[in-house]
A and B are shown apart, each in its own frame.
Chain A
Amino acid sequence: MKAISRRAFATLMGLGTASVLVPPGVLGQATPRVVVIGGGAGGATAARHLARDGGGAIEVTLVQDSPRYTSCFFSNLHVGEVRDFDSITHDYDALAAEDGLTLVIDRAVGIDRVARTVALAGGDVLPYDRLVLSPGIDLIHESVPGYSESAAERAPHAWQGGAQTARLKSALDALENGRNIVMVAPPNPYRCPPGPYERASMMAHVLTSRGFTDSTITILDTKSAFSKQALFSAGWRTHYPGMIEWLPPDVHGGILEVDAAAGTVETDLDTFEGALLNIIPAQRAGAIAVDAGLADDSGFCPVVATSMRSTLDENIFVIGDASIAGAMPKSAYAANSQAKVAARNVRVDLLGARDVAATYANICWSLISPDNGVKVGAQYRPGEDGTITSVSSFLSEADESDATRAATYRESVGWYDAIIADMLG
């Protein structure tokens, strides 16, 4: 599995040129070690690209808590019966077989930034020269009064892929005609800005396809506006007339209490009853990043725009939803893009690789109804103010043809296959 790398070969041959390639800090040490925490769109991409582009000169260890990965992206399409659960669930076999990459199925429980080690729940301690942290989000259940981790079993958030996705789908399957769905949408910033509204679309599609036209979906939002709002509003009118009701804070007056057992959400305006409650609370960076002191008061992790390096620890890169990536949304596409910038900068640090100006990209596709896809996207660069800044952007137009919308959806399916391949091989 481990071939002799070019660098190791050069060292074996006693070639002085090796010192040209290797920064002084790494000389005299064995192969530099990189630990990547989190096997999602950010972490898996970073680990795979580091292993491949490191050419065996870096020992990459990916720590992932589960041997199976169910993507949160496209999980709304499972709820909408457009994709089955297996099609959004993947294993790590191909990634684990990459040269130079070791997969550890365990949970990272702590980072010692002085000793530069990661402690695992199973007891192992992994030393690192550089750490790439991609823990995703944690949900702040208590940000919604009355909501809790235990309430999430009855009133799922389904904002992390896997069991919660399945729980929401089961609840939707159990809904009877005439019974209603009440959603609570989270405050900014959060994972997948158009996600709550795509989810409402997909649930409306299922209700409509079952002939459940007496059921309604009410979105109680904590925001006054949302991503692709005009596109969603028009799509709801066309495809699900009268079914989806979106209420911003100045209408409902504030969310006072969620009672998961009773199936109610009390607002200042009125109490909303739902046989299905889908409560999506506020979010912050994954606990391991917060516990390591890498987050600021926002709950997310500040990073250097040119590299995704933590502004609080030069040996750590934070990518994906846990990072504060300027104008970039929290999305799988963004995490994948950031992972490549971080991976390159790790190689600059450890192997003296050539530095290249960072560029980033994002596209968020949303499905309004089957074959009716819309998208928003942008290119990004480090801005003069030190944050990641949009340099060009695009958005689906309001009056696109069915053919254009179908093409947009097909494009998103192609992207899904491509990002999974880029992450997991």
Chain B
Amino acid sequence: MATKPRVKIPDSVTAGEVITVKALLRHAMETGERRNGEGNPIARDIINRFEARFDGAIVFAVDLNPGIAANPFLEFTARIDRAGTFRLTWTDDGGEVTEFRHAISVSP
């Protein structure tokens, strides 16, 4: 079960500026390899896909695998030529999607 993501994206940039996007999601990233106190396996539950779209077009995407630490933190850069909206999505093994949207304005 995921909680509110913490994301850093600028509100406004100049056209052509390269920005850094930082995105942290609190998630246990349960590998499926561990066992509980009774020796029974703990079911795998990870974020398996992250996508960042800008006005619908993918600018950055990651397939995540078991073994990635809890609370995955992703950082990427993107060149912003025009105003638009970032939509970030995290998809977990249960199909639950956590979404974050952020509009960026552009000055010439």
A interface list, Cβ under 8 A from B: 216, 237, 241-242, 245-247, 251, 253, 268-270
| B8 sits at the interface (CB 8 A) | yes
| B73 sits at the interface (CB 8 A) | yes
- Please, how many angstroms separate the alpha-carbon atoms of A242 and B1 in the complex? 9
| B79 sits at the interface (CB 8 A) | no
Residue of A nearest to B1 (CB): A242
* New contact pairs (13) apart from A216-B26, A245-B26, CB-CB < 8 Å: A216-B3, A241-B28, A241-B30, A242-B1, A245-B70, A247-B24, A251-B24, A253-B8, A253-B22, A269-B6, A269-B8, A270-B7, A270-B24
Please state if B71 and A270 are interface contacts (CB–CB under 8 Å).
no
A-contact 0/1 string along B1-44, CB 8 Å cutoff? 10100111000000000000010101010100010000000000
- Please, how many angstroms separate the alpha-carbon atoms of A269 and B22 in the complex? 7
Nearest chain A CB to B8 CB, angstrom units: 5
Contacting A245 at CB < 8 Å: which of B8, B22, B30, B71?
Answer: B71
Residue of B nearest to A272 (CB): B6
Residue of B nearest to A241 (CB): B28
- Provide the residues of chain A in CB contact with B6, threshold 8 Å: 269-270
Please state if B8 and A270 are interface contacts (CB–CB under 8 Å).
yes
Residue of B nearest to A216 (CB): B26
Please state if A247 and B71 are interface contacts (CB–CB under 8 Å).
yes
Nearest chain A CB to B59 CB, angstrom units: 20
Q: DSSP majority for the A interface?
A: loop
Please state if B22 and A242 are interface contacts (CB–CB under 8 Å).
no
- Please, how many angstroms separate the alpha-carbon atoms of A223 and B51 in the complex? 29
- Provide the residues of chain B in CB contact with A242, threshold 8 Å: 1, 26, 28, 70
- Provide the residues of chain B in CB contact with A241, threshold 8 Å: 28, 30
- Provide the residues of chain B in CB contact with A270, threshold 8 Å: 6-8, 24
- Please, how many angstroms separate the alpha-carbon atoms of A366 and B37 in the complex? 21
Please state if A269 and B24 are interface contacts (CB–CB under 8 Å).
yes
- Provide the residues of chain A in CB contact with B34, threshold 8 Å: 237
Interface residue total, chain B, C-beta cutoff 8 A: 14
Residue of B nearest to A251 (CB): B73
Sample 16 A-B pairs with CB under 8 A, ordered by A number. A216-B26, A237-B34, A237-B70, A242-B70, A245-B70, A245-B71, A247-B24, A247-B73, A251-B22, A251-B73, A253-B22, A269-B8, A269-B22, A270-B6, A270-B7, A270-B24
Nearest chain A CB to B70 CB, angstrom units: 7
- Please, how many angstroms separate the alpha-carbon atoms of A270 and B9 in the complex? 10
- Please, how many angstroms separate the alpha-carbon atoms of A334 and B6 in the complex? 40
Nearest chain A CB to B75 CB, angstrom units: 8
Residue of A nearest to B3 (CB): A216
- Provide the residues of chain A in CB contact with B71, threshold 8 Å: 245-247
- Please, how many angstroms separate the alpha-carbon atoms of A237 and B28 in the complex? 8
- Please, how many angstroms separate the alpha-carbon atoms of A237 and B37 in the complex? 12
Nearest chain B CB to A273 CB, angstrom units: 11
- Please, how many angstroms separate the alpha-carbon atoms of A270 and B3 in the complex? 14
- Please, how many angstroms separate the alpha-carbon atoms of A269 and B25 in the complex? 12
Please state if B8 and A268 are interface contacts (CB–CB under 8 Å).
yes
Nearest chain A CB to B104 CB, angstrom units: 17
- Provide the residues of chain B in CB contact with A253, threshold 8 Å: 8, 22
Nearest chain A CB to B74 CB, angstrom units: 10
Residue of A nearest to B22 (CB): A269
- Please, how many angstroms separate the alpha-carbon atoms of A237 and B30 in the complex? 9
- Provide the residues of chain B in CB contact with A268, threshold 8 Å: 8
- Please, how many angstroms separate the alpha-carbon atoms of A246 and B70 in the complex? 9
- Please, how many angstroms separate the alpha-carbon atoms of A75 and B24 in the complex? 32
Closest 7 CB pairs of A and B: A270-B6, A251-B73, A242-B28, A269-B8, A245-B71, A269-B6, A269-B22
Nearest chain B CB to A246 CB, angstrom units: 8
Nearest chain A CB to B58 CB, angstrom units: 23
- Provide the residues of chain B in CB contact with A216, threshold 8 Å: 3, 26
- Please, how many angstroms separate the alpha-carbon atoms of A269 and B73 in the complex? 11
Q: Which has the most chain B C-beta neighbours within 10 Å: A216, A237, A253?
A: A237
Q: Which has the most chain B C-beta neighbours within 10 Å: A241, A242, A246?
A: A242
- Please, how many angstroms separate the alpha-carbon atoms of A253 and B24 in the complex? 12
- Provide the residues of chain A in CB contact with B24, threshold 8 Å: 247, 251, 269-270
Residue of B nearest to A218 (CB): B26
- Provide the residues of chain A in CB contact with B30, threshold 8 Å: 241
- Provide the residues of chain B in CB contact with A246, threshold 8 Å: 71
- Provide the residues of chain A in CB contact with B26, threshold 8 Å: 216, 242, 245
- Please, how many angstroms separate the alpha-carbon atoms of A212 and B4 in the complex? 19
Nearest chain B CB to A404 CB, angstrom units: 16
- Please, how many angstroms separate the alpha-carbon atoms of A268 and B1 in the complex? 25
- Please, how many angstroms separate the alpha-carbon atoms of A393 and B26 in the complex? 35
Residue of A nearest to B26 (CB): A245
- Please, how many angstroms separate the alpha-carbon atoms of A135 and B37 in the complex? 45
Nearest chain B CB to A69 CB, angstrom units: 39
